[in-house]
Amino acid sequence: MGEKRERYQNRIELLQGTLDLLILQTLQWGSQHGYGISVAIRNRSGELLQVDTGSLYPALHRLEKQKWIKAEWKISENKQRAKFYQLTAAGKKQLTRERSKWSQLSDAIAGVLQPEE
């Protein structure tokens, strides 16, 4: 019980819009299903970023509707039928845009946070 609560407290609320960036980035490494995406984000963030299904799936469908990713039903490594998402050409461009936006943002924040010398 105690451990769980701690983990929960350690979770970081994702900034508005950053989930899209994380999803697009995850799909950069290859097509993946929703569960796989959430596991990938969790692992690569050192268990710090836990994506809610209630945020993940609307985000996936939003990106699909925007035609930045496309979906296909396939059989997973462990013999499960799952809906795999894949970056489209437009999605790749979007990823570049989002990344540069993000680095601008993080530079800006870092600048603000830097102790004055």
With contact defined as beta carbons under 8 Å apart, do 77 and 32 qualify? no
Beta carbon nearer to other proteins, 5 or 81? 81
Tokens 């894949």, located at residue: 86
Alpha helices in the chain (DSSP H): 2-10, 18-28, 34-44, 53-65, 89-113
With contact defined as beta carbons under 8 Å apart, do 70 and 86 qualify? yes
Helix, strand, or coil (residue 111): helix
Per rule CB under 8 A, is residue 42 in the interface with other proteins? no
Instruction: Lay out the site mask for other proteins across 85-114 (x = CB under 8 A, - = otherwise).
Output: ------------------------------
Q: Which of residues 58-87 bind other proteins (CB under 8 A)?
A: 58, 61-62, 65, 76, 78, 80-83
Q: Which of residues 14-33 bind other proteins (CB under 8 A)?
A: 33
Per rule CB under 8 A, is residue 5 in the interface with other proteins? no
